[in-house]
Amino acid sequence: MPFLYITLPFLPTLLPVSVLLSLMVSFSKMSEDGELVAMFSFGYSLRRLLVPLSGFLLVLYGAAFYSSIELEAWGRREFVRFLYEKTQTEIDNLIRFKIQPGVFIQDFLGYVFYAEKISPDRTHYRHVFLTPKKGASHTFSAISAPAAEITGSVEKGDLRMRLYDGLAYSPKEGGGTTTLRFQKADLDLLRIFQEQILGDEKKEDYRSFPILELRATVAELSTTPETPLYRRAYYLYLSRLINPFSLIAFALFGLLLGIRDQRQANAMGYLNAVGTIILCTVLQVVFRWYGERGILPIPFAVWTPPLILLMFSSFLVYQKNRLPLSEPVLAWKNFPGRKPKKES
């Protein structure tokens, strides 16, 4: 199930790529067997070949659109929910079984933890020492306290460790150590654990919103359009509506890569398919980068890549439809309006 939750957000991207590869393999097989040559010889044009494919693409477009506006957010929500359940199990096991009296615990939620004595119900601790693991950035370097207790529960979402009458040590910028005496210090164990697992998923939880809720969030953030959060959320909202549009262009690319001259090597189709996927991905990433940083308007950054891909693929289909199979569609001599040279 976690693998399914992780995969679903990428389904709007995987579907166009799958369509490209499947159409390329299908028509490549037809080209290899000479079926396309026979069809074109009897006047069956490429434009006519697109008619039965249009129904197939319409169904796939509906699936891509539904996965983009619904399944993507659902997968992210379910993945976060799974991690919360994982949090409960891990923390319960950590507190009940892993913490032992008189033993240094090296992986206590990113800290090194030591307690000399632990009560039978494992909620009260004596002579506690706590320090961040090496490389972690914290405001303190160590905490020691004669007593500590764990309050709340994972189920209620308020699991905390409270340390009493202790000392906190923190390094000075110029060297040395600063000591702070406190009566009570709280550590939110649940929040620490969730931040370690969720990371950016928790900070950018708008990615798990359904389309209508995401739209409301964008409208709320539009009061501060200069903030990066607004631009990222607005880009995500528009891309969920527009990204399925690129499936048509990928389908046309797959069709064109499958229709090839029999004298060409079989591996060239796969190499061209990989190159097409990489170029399309780079194009989308570049425009997204410019859009989320405010260099380009968000609607322009979202719409431009699929429109470029669709226009280019449509032009290639037009060229392939009017030229023989052996003629390269991007050769300058074969561009529309170019007059063929007269043979001497």
H helix intervals, the chain: 2-7, 11-32, 35-41, 46-66, 72-93, 189-198, 200-203, 211-221, 228-242, 246-258, 266-292, 298-322
CA–CA gap between residue 7 and residue 282 (Å, rounded) = 21
Same domain, 132 and 277: no
Overall domain count for the chain:
2
What's the mean pLDDT in 179-207? 70
- Contact partners, residue 122, CB within 8 Å, separation at least 6: 95, 96, 99, 150
CA–CA gap between residue 117 and residue 145 (Å, rounded) = 12
- Which residues form the domain of 156? 90-200
**Residue 179, H or E segment:** strand 177-188
What's the mean pLDDT in 67-81? 83
Tokens of 139: 């405001």
What is the model's pLDDT at position 262?
A: 58
Same domain, 130 and 241: no
Same domain, 95 and 25: no
Query: At 222, is the secondary structure helix, strand, or coil?
Result: coil
343 against 35, higher pLDDT: 35
Same domain, 45 and 98: no
What is the model's pLDDT at position 267?
A: 63
pLDDT digits (tens, 9 = 90+) for 233-285: 899 899 888 888 888 888 888 888 887 765 555 667 678 888 888 888 899 89
CB atoms within 10 A of CB 166: 20
What is the model's pLDDT at position 344?
A: 47
Same domain, 101 and 179: yes
Residue 341 lies in a domain: no
pLDDT over 90, % of the chain: 4
Q: What is the mean pLDDT of the chain?
A: 80
Residue at token pair 């001259």 = 261
Same domain, 260 and 236: yes
pTM: 0.68
Domain boundary among 137, 171, 200: 200
- Torsions phi, psi of 258, nearest 5? -80, -30
